[in-house]
């Protein structure tokens, strides 16, 4: 190619006589599909490498020697390629392949979970010969065997497509299932006694094009034609994976991953996939509970709300609004959180609100840092991990980062007190001394990587709740000093914690990432009078409660006895608070101590929106009715407001969404209409990102009426993504990760891609908002927060020669209510085991596996030990929030670090 002829950006190929445009490098099967021609396939999957295993995708490609059969999943398009997908030769090949695949297939469709949504069934019907010449005895295997406690395999049904095994190896990085044997006796299996214990195992069930892999929580629960589904977003952690919620008889029976390009690529982690079981639990609260003496007894909403009203108005009248606090909110939708934020600030008049439970980072800093998206993190020149173990805390973010390391050569600098799931993929992993993270940023290895790195993105979260958040803030400050252009992706893990913070469920912060001081006038013009001073955070609230200074404490799905790092303080707080009101779906350790418990609806039972860690707002849809009289948190807020003599002014969820878009500066344009539009399919990015890229606050001075017609803003383009689709247009093929609302692929999609990829939806939305701007009659819309972490350099005491410094971090499966009420997941919580470097164990004279007494300044516990080379010397590691006594009992939240002694008993 000469200099004057630039490389072609698109190719033209002919498929069945129709010319379509294709992208260089694109596989023929994908290009044809975008062009509207579905080529049958079993092994090909757009999110995995092609392997050409099944030969179902054979088509005729014209070559120098005439048309030749070629597997379309293995050949990239070439300019001018001529393809026939319907010739008699192709038909014969398809017939042959299907007849061969069915030779050993048991055809037990009537008792197979996949029956009715099975690509093998569908494609046999659409492309198969209709009969088999095979009359011999079929190969037999023992019917289902367990690959793990979650996934069962029926080897007779397996067609050896290599999807599950490829996924385990390529995508999950857990190659624990493999093809064993050869020929007709090839089987998928695990090594004996080494089960497929991957956090991502459920994806293989969804990927399997036949009924060979089944998930135990769904096995024999429903038939596909009985299922009803909506699309929603997972809120089991803050990644916010898109999924389809499927129900039968008003019970959620299955969740399937839906492919959203900027977020989850179709994958779900097993926690997100299976913790729906909790919504069907018999332990769900269905009626309000009111305390009489030592017992909580069921009562009506009228009685319970009257009690709450009496307690809160009494507290406010007698002790002032500052005697009321609202703790929690990460479980809530944005709309719920907004309602509670408004209720607390206006009707209750308190700023003592905090959605985090001392396990996160200071809200005003997190909200104000320059932002990065997941995509930006994965395409950075260097990704710095200053956060908890991604694999344990944000599993699908781990998959994305791992994938970027494997496929795009992303370089990762990990700074962590202990080894994590990411360590083996990091270019360098620097062990930080707990409490002294900042010095690790200045470590030579870290410095060498940071120097000269172009675009640096940092995932910032809380690595250990046994050390103060100040350590993380200092490290962030050190990083900003070393690399001034660094942008941040939040690593806060809790469900919708970002939505809750964005809605102002943090002291001194108002909806849309503005401070109480900056936003007083702007938000006040809609909300009315706001509290005068910033309130207390979770630690402050619990301390105040313990000192008897709080008369009313509302727990919004918060369980401080389990989740707050310092259980002793939480205990004293619950004992010292006047009236404790818990709004929860289950009785938790904390809500058992409440005076009134109100039953709440959870994910799947209510609609709204949620904001993920990159600030992407996605829809949550309702599929089933909440049990008993449980209801959405915003309704409870609205009802309480009116009983307390106020009026939040909400009529519906959509109404709140639109009020958020109007009031919250970072949420400009994110209206209910925009979320429902095709542009909203991938979720809409909040404006904070926009700010990071532009000088000056773009949201400043915008008019009041932000009416966005998203369709107008985007033309008629449907969603921009390449998706697999199933042969039957009305039947989604979940195994291929297609969107459950049907196949929207069209030429417009292709055009959008060819026209230069996806635009920034929100920017476009905002532009159109500006165009239709009305003259402001309200105060100026304030700029979203910008912050630089303040350096505290809090003095950390030296660890004495007898002690180990504690690191307490989260595991995927913990003592959380959803996991513990999901029978399939609860047994997977690993429990509290002290992991110590073998050299330290030897020094202390402890044999690994023995029980030891672990003593901190707070208490002494008896726990078993485990030798672990991933824990550096001088450190003891405990998983946080595991069943039974554990880390929270040892930690003093006021201390910068926690030191423990291990003694043999």
Q: Which residues are near other proteins by CB under 8 A?
A: 169, 174-182, 189-192, 194
Residue 212 site contact among ligand FES, other proteins, ligand SF4, none (CB < 5 to 8 Å, cut-off depends on kind): ligand SF4
Residue ranges of the alpha helices (H) in 677-723? 687-693, 710-714
Residue 234 CB, shortest distance to ligand SF4, in Å, is 3
The conformation of residue 371, written as its DSSP 8-state character, comes to B
Q: Is 13 in the site for ligand FES (CB under 6 A)?
A: no
Contact 892, 856 (CB under 8 A): yes
Number of residues that bind ligand FES (CB under 6 A): 12
Residue 586 CB, shortest distance to ligand SF4, in Å, is 18
Q: Is 620 in the site for ligand SF4 (CB under 6 A)?
A: no
Residue 728 CB, shortest distance to ligand SF4, in Å, is 19
Site string for ligand SF4, 170-209 (x = CB under 6 A): ------------------x------------------xxx
Residue 192 site contact among ligand FES, ligand SF4, other proteins, none (CB < 5 to 8 Å, cut-off depends on kind): other proteins
Site string for ligand SF4, 642-671 (x = CB under 6 A): ------------------------------
Judged by CB under 6 A, the stretch of 8-16, 47-55, 585-593, 689-697 that binds ligand FES is 47-55
Can you tell me the distance from the alpha carbon of 563 to that of 572, in angstroms, rounded to the nearest whole number? 15
Phi (first) and psi of residue 358, to 5 degrees? 70, 10
Residue of 35, 46, 71, 626 interacting with ligand FES (CB under 6 A): 71
DSSP lists the bridge partners of residue 806 as 876
Residue of 13, 22, 28, 54 interacting with ligand FES (CB under 6 A): 54
Residue 178 site contact among other proteins, ligand FES, ligand SF4, none (CB < 5 to 8 Å, cut-off depends on kind): other proteins
Give me Rg for the CA atoms of the chain.
28
Q: Is 55 in the site for ligand FES (CB under 6 A)?
A: yes
Name the CA dihedral angle for 765, 771, 773, 775, rounded to a multiple of 10 degrees. 160
Residue 359 CB, shortest distance to ligand SF4, in Å, is 16
Can you tell me the distance from the alpha carbon of 806 to that of 869, in angstroms, rounded to the nearest whole number? 16
Phi (first) and psi of residue 413, to 5 degrees? -110, 115
- Per-position DSSP letters for 136-159, written without gaps between them: SPPP---S-EESSSSEEE-GGG--
Contact 193, 184 (CB under 8 A): no
3-state secondary structure 522-580: HHHHHHCCCCCCCCCCHHHHHHHHHCCCCCEEEEECCCHHHHCCCHHHHHHHHHHCCEE
Window 388 to 417, contacts with ligand SF4 (CB under 6 A): 394-396
Contact 206, 256 (CB under 8 A): yes
Owner of token pair 């003593």: 855
Residue whose CB is less far from ligand FES, 42 or 200: 42
Residue whose CB is less far from other proteins, 192 or 696: 192
Q: Is 316 in the site for ligand FES (CB under 6 A)?
A: no
Contact 356, 498 (CB under 8 A): no
Residue 241 site contact among ligand FES, ligand SF4, other proteins, none (CB < 5 to 8 Å, cut-off depends on kind): ligand SF4
- Least Cα distance to 471 among 805, 761, 198 occurs for 805
DSSP lists the bridge partners of residue 68 as 61
Tokens of 892: 């003093």
Residue whose CB is less far from ligand SF4, 552 or 816: 816
Residue 669 CB, shortest distance to ligand SF4, in Å, is 24
Residue whose CB is less far from ligand SF4, 344 or 385: 385
Tokens of 74: 């293995």
Which parts of 16-95 are beta strand (E)?
18-22, 58-63, 66-71, 82-84
Residue whose CB is less far from ligand FES, 42 or 586: 42
CB count in 10 Å sphere of residue 409: 8
Tell me the three state secondary structure of residue 28: helix
Can you tell me the distance from the alpha carbon of 583 to that of 626, in angstroms, rounded to the nearest whole number? 14
Residue 39 CB, shortest distance to ligand FES, in Å, is 8
Residue 231 CB, shortest distance to ligand SF4, in Å, is 14
Q: Is 57 in the site for ligand FES (CB under 6 A)?
A: yes
Residue whose CB is less far from ligand SF4, 236 or 768: 236
- Least Cα distance to 663 among 683, 649, 677, 676 occurs for 649
* Axis crossing angle, helix 119-127 with helix 88-103, rounded to the nearest 10: 140
Can you tell me the distance from the alpha carbon of 583 to that of 329, in angstroms, rounded to the nearest whole number? 10
Residue of 11, 38, 42, 634 interacting with ligand FES (CB under 6 A): 42
Strands 596-599 and 579-584: parallel
Residue 858 CB, shortest distance to ligand FES, in Å, is 59
Residue of 58, 159, 662, 670 interacting with ligand SF4 (CB under 6 A): 159
Q: Is 687 in the site for ligand SF4 (CB under 6 A)?
A: no
Can you tell me the distance from the alpha carbon of 767 to that of 762, in angstroms, rounded to the nearest whole number? 8
User: How many alpha carbons lie under 13 Å from residue 63 in its C-beta half-sphere?
Assistant: 9
Window 72 to 91, contacts with ligand SF4 (CB under 6 A): none
Residue 702 CB, shortest distance to other proteins, in Å, is 55
Residue whose CB is less far from ligand FES, 168 or 876: 168
Tokens of 159: 């067609």
Residue 194 site contact among ligand FES, other proteins, ligand SF4, none (CB < 5 to 8 Å, cut-off depends on kind): other proteins
Can you tell me the distance from the alpha carbon of 548 to that of 573, in angstroms, rounded to the nearest whole number? 8
Can you tell me the distance from the alpha carbon of 888 to that of 562, in angstroms, rounded to the nearest whole number? 8
Residue 163 site contact among other proteins, ligand SF4, ligand FES, none (CB < 5 to 8 Å, cut-off depends on kind): ligand SF4
Q: Is 212 in the site for ligand SF4 (CB under 6 A)?
A: yes
Query: Over the range 559-569, which residues count as b (16 or more CB within 10 Å of their CB) and which as e?
Result: bbbbbbbbbbb
Judged by CB under 6 A, the stretch of 41-49, 277-285, 511-519, 679-687 that binds ligand FES is 41-49
Can you tell me the distance from the alpha carbon of 30 to that of 42, in angstroms, rounded to the nearest whole number? 13
Residue 736 site contact among ligand FES, other proteins, ligand SF4, none (CB < 5 to 8 Å, cut-off depends on kind): none
Q: Is 210 in the site for ligand SF4 (CB under 6 A)?
A: yes
Residue 48 CB, shortest distance to ligand FES, in Å, is 11
Residue whose CB is less far from other proteins, 188 or 891: 188
Q: Is 168 in the site for ligand SF4 (CB under 6 A)?
A: no
Residue of 23, 27, 61, 73 interacting with ligand FES (CB under 6 A): 73
The contact set with ligand SF4 (CB under 6 A) reads: 158-164, 188, 207-210, 212-213, 234, 236-237, 239-241, 264, 268-269, 271-272, 394-396
The contact set with ligand FES (CB under 6 A) reads: 41-44, 52-57, 71, 73
């Amino acid at each position: 190619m000469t200099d004057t002829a630039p490389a072609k950006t698109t190719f033209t190929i002919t498929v069945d006589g129709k010319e379509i445009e294709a992208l260089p490098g694109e596989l023929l099967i994908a290009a044809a599909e975008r062009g509207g021609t579905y080529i049958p396939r079993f092994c090909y999957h757009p999110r995995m490498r092609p392997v050409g295993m099944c030969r179902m995708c054979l088509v005729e490609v014209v070559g120098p020697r005439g048309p030749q059969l070629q597997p379309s999943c293995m050949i990239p398009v070439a300019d001018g390629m001529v393809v026939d997908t319907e010739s008699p030769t192709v038909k014969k090949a398809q017939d042959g392949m299907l007849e061969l695949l069915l030779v050993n297939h048991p055809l037990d469709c009537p008792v197979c979970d996949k029956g009715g949504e099975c690509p093998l069934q569908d494609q046999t019907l659409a492309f198969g010969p209709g009969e088999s010449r095979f009359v011999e005895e079929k190969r037999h295997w023992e019917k289902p065997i367990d690959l793990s406690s979650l996934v069962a395999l029926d080897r007779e049904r397996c067609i050896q497509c290599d999807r599950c095994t490829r996924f385990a190896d390529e995508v999950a990085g857990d190659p624990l299932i493999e093809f064993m044997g050869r020929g007709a006796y090839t089987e998928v299996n695990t090594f004996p006694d080494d089960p497929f214990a991957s956090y991502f195992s459920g994806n293989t069930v969804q990927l399997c094009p036949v009924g060979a892999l089944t998930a135990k929580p769904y096995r024999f629960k429903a038939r596909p034609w009985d299922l009803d589904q909506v699309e929603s977003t997972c809120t089991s952690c803050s990644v916010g994976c898109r999924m389809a919620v499927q129900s039968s008889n008003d019970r959620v029976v299955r969740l399937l991953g839906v492919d959203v390009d900027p977020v989850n690529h179709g994958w779900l982690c097993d926690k997100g996939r299976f913790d729906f079981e909790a919504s069907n639990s018999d332990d769900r609260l269905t009626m309000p509970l009111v305390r009489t003496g030592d017992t909580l007894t069921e009562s009506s909403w009228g009685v319970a709300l009257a009690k709450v009203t009496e307690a809160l108005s009494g507290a406010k009248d007698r002790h002032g609004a500052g005697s009321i606090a609202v703790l929690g909110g990460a479980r809530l939708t944005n709309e719920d959180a907004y309602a509670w934020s408004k209720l607390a600030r206006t009707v209750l008049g308190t700023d003592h609100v905090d959605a985090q439970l001392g396990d996160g980072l200071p809200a005003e800093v997190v909200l104000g840092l320059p932002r990065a998206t997941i995509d930006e993190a994965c395409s950075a020149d260097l990704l710095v991990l200053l956060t908890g173990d991604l694999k344990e805390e944000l599993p699908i973010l781990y998959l994305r980062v791992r994938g970027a390391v494997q496929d795009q050569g992303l370089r990762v600098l990990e700074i962590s007190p202990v080894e994590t799931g990411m360590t083996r993929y990091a270019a360098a992993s620097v062990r930080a001394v707990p409490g002294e993270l900042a010095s690790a940023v200045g470590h030579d290895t870290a410095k060498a990587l940071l120097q000269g790195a172009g675009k640096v993105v940092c995932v910032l979260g809380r690595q250990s709740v046994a050390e103060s958040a100040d350590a993380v803030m200092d490290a962030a400050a050190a990083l900003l000093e070393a690399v001034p252009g660094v942008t941040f992706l939040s690593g806060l893990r809790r469900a919708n914690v970002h939505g809750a913070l964005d809605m102002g469920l943090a002291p001194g912060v108002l909806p849309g990432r503005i401070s109480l001081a900056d936003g007083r006038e702007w938000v006040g013009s809609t909300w009315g009078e706001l509290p005068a001073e910033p309130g207390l955070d979770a630690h402050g609230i619990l301390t105040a409660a313990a000192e008897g200074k709080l008369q009313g404490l509302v727990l919004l799905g918060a369980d401080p006895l389990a989740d707050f790092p310092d259980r002793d303080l939480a205990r004293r707080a619950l004992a010292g608070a006047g009236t404790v009101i818990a709004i929860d779906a289950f009785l938790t350790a904390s809500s058992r101590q409440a005076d009134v418990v109100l039953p709440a609806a959870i994910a799947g039972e209510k609609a709204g929106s949620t904001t993920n860690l990159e600030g992407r707002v996605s829809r949550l849809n309702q599929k089933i009715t909440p049990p008993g009289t449980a209801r959405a948190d915003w309704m409870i807020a609205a009802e309480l407001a009116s009983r307390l003599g106020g009026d939040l002014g909400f009529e519906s969820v959509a109404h709140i969404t639109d009020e958020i878009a109007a009031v919250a500066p970072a949420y400009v344009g994110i209206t209910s209409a925009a979320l429902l539009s095709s542009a909203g399919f991938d979720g809409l990015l909040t404006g904070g990102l926009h700010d990071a890229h532009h000088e000056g606050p773009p949201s400043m001075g915008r008019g009041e009426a932000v009416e966005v017609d998203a369709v107008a803003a985007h033309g008629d383009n449907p969603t921009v993504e390449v998706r697999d689709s199933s042969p039957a247009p009305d039947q989604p093929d979940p195994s291929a990760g297609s969107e459950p609302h049907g196949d929207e692929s069209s030429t417009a999609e292709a055009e959008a891609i060819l026209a230069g990829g996806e635009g920034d939806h929100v920017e476009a939305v905002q532009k159109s908002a500006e165009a239709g701007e009305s003259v402001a009659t309200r105060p100026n819309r304030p700029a979203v927060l910008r912050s630089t972490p303040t350096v505290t350099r809090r003095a950390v005491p030296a660890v004495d020669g007898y002690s180990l410094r504690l690191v307490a971090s989260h595991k995927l499966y913990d003592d959380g209510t959803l996991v513990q009420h999901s029978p399939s997941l609860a047994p997977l919580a690993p429990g509290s085991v002290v992991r110590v470097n073998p050299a330290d164990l030897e020094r202390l004279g402890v044999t690994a596996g023995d029980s030891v007494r672990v003593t901190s300044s707070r208490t002494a516990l008896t726990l078993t030990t485990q030798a672990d080379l991933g824990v550096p010397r001088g450190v003891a590691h405990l998983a946080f929030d595991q069943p039974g006594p554990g880390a929270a009992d040892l930690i003093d939240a006021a201390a910068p670090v926690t030191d423990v002694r291990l003694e043999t008993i």
